[in-house]
Structure 1
Amino acid sequence: MAGYVEKGIIRLHKKIAKDIWQMQIELPLTAREAKPGQFIHMKVNDPRYLLRRPISIAGTDPEKGLVEIIYRIVGKGTEAMSHLKEGDVVDSLGPLGTSFSMDKDHIVGIGGGIGIAPILFMARQARPGQMTVVIGGRNKEEVFWKDLFPDTVRKMIVTTDDGSYGIKGFSVSVLPQMFAEEKVDEACVCGPAIMMKTAAEMAKTAGVYCEVSMERRMGCGIGTCLGCVCDKKSGEGHYKVCTDGPVFNAEEVVL
């Protein structure tokens, strides 16, 4: 699906951590269709920034027609986004891309950094007890995400690099023991590239099916500009992350 072009009113926009903002936008068509792992392509509302920005969807409320995004200020475009006010109208194209599969009995969602947003959407859509969530950050301030997850998750594991909250270490460090001790049907990973590669390798060793959400800079978001390609593991060409992904079987892409 190519997605809908919608102009939506910002109903909520607030800073929730250092350089991290939460926004809820009235986008009824996107809210009705969106699935975990998909994204919207937003115009910044500033003539200096012509290209849209791809932002993962963190949740939806189809009854109210709301789409929630959580984004980090990483450049001038997202800096301009942070100055938008509640009541402003923004232009969105979405939902775009592929989604995580949600048909397994026990899914482990592993997220790091802003890549936690699609895992949050998954947890909000999952059946009670279907998901175990593993999230990590550099310190206690970076794992504010834990308070956004529903209490219907099977278990939540939080790690911090400095040990200021939860388990000291990286999020992937808990996976080998989990895969060995529990029946895990699927691992879904989104975050820094090295984290995704390591998690995918651990899942393969344990015989656990794994999906990863690739991050790339995107120009068009609809497969035309070829600015977001990633290599096929088969060596036979490339995938377009915006349309063939962003969610892939980890065995199909070079991480």
Structure 2
Amino acid sequence: MTGMVEKGIIIRHEKMGPDIWRMVISLPLTAKKAKPGQFIHVKINDNSRLLRRPISIAGTAPGKGLVEILYRVVGSGTQLMSEMKEGDTIDCLGPLGTSFTIPEEGEILGVGGGVGIAPILFTARRAKPGQMTVVIGGRNKDEVFWKDLFPKTLKQLIVTTDDGSYGIKGFTVSVLPDVMKQGTVRQVAVCGPGIMMKKTAEIAGEYGVPCEVSLERRMGCGTGTCMACVCDRKAGGHYKVCSDGPVFDAAEVVL
């Protein structure tokens, strides 16, 4: 999917946690078409920044024409992005990429860590009431502010922290066997650190449940041309994360 260039007005821009920002943009065309797992490619308003930044979509309000993103400041580009003000115009290319599967019936287990929680949040907002259980984790209480963004329609929200300052002490993957052994999960969606996705996919495989992973890579064009964001296929060769993904069947990619 090549997406479309759409310039939108920043409606809301606020700091949510350590180096993490939430931005709501008026992008009517993107809001209408976007699906959970897809992303937008954002152009920084600085002529010295030639490449766009890929940012996962955290949610949309199609009726209002709004797109919500959450991003972490990790370099000079996203630092400039964090300095943008409400009312500024931002240039976006999207929606891009593949999306998570939301089955008509059966429970979805969403697993997320860090800013990888954004596409899991979007999936939860699109799932049916009571259809989705979500497990999210962070290093401490300050990093799990995400819990307040999830809809009340979840079947269950489980929060873990490395230091035990909120929720269950430990890593997200430590609670997955207890969820999976209930036998109600029909689809797993995961996004976050590589080791977390790898372990989640392994656990899902042990229970014979399909697992989809959303991969994060540095991107250039975002449309499959520059080959900067490839990942390895288990069958040999490569996938382009921006156009073949970012959502893949975990059984098809090397994690």
TM-score, normalising length from structure 1? Answer: 0.99
Alignment of 1:125-140 (within 5 A): 125-140=126-141
Structure 1 match to 2:216 = 215
State the AA in 2 paired with 1:161.
D
Structure 2 match to 1:102 = 102
Q: Unaligned stretches of 5+ in structure 2?
A: none
How many correspondences in the alignment?
Answer: 254
State the AA in 2 paired with 1:227.
A
Alignment of 1:38-117 (within 5 A): 38-103=38-103, 104-117=105-118
Structure 2 match to 1:145 = 146
Paired with 1:92 and 1:208, the residues of 2 have a C-alpha distance of 35
Structure 1 match to 2:160 = 159
Paired with 1:42 and 1:122, the residues of 2 have a C-alpha distance of 21
Structure 2 match to 1:7 = 7
The superposition leaves residues 177-230 of structure 1 with CA deviations (integer Å, 9 ceiling, x where unpaired) of: 211123110110000001000100111011111000000000000000000000
- The farther-off stretch of 131-140 and 175-184 is 175-184
Paired with 2:14 and 2:182, the residues of 1 have a C-alpha distance of 40
Structure 1 match to 2:200 = 199
State the AA in 1 paired with 2:95.
P
- Structure 1 residue 109: deviation in Å? 0.3
Q: Unaligned stretches of 5+ in structure 1?
A: none
Q: Secondary structure at the match of 2:179?
A: helix
State the AA in 2 paired with 1:31.
A
Paired with 1:49 and 1:202, the residues of 2 have a C-alpha distance of 41
The superposition leaves residues 33-85 of structure 1 with CA deviations (integer Å, 9 ceiling, x where unpaired) of: 00000000000111121100000000001111000000000111000000000
Structure 1 match to 2:235 = 234
Q: Secondary structure at the match of 1:122?
A: helix
Asked if 1:36 is matched to 2:36, the reply is yes
The superposition leaves residues 8-56 of structure 1 with CA deviations (integer Å, 9 ceiling, x where unpaired) of: 0000001111111000011100000000000000001111211000000
State the AA in 1 paired with 2:194.
A
Paired with 2:182 and 2:16, the residues of 1 have a C-alpha distance of 35
Q: Secondary structure at the match of 2:166?
A: coil
State the AA in 1 paired with 2:184.
K
TM-score, normalising length from structure 2? Answer: 0.99
Q: Secondary structure at the match of 1:242?
A: helix
Q: Secondary structure at the match of 1:10?
A: strand
8 Å contact from structure 2 (residues 106, 184) kept in 1? no
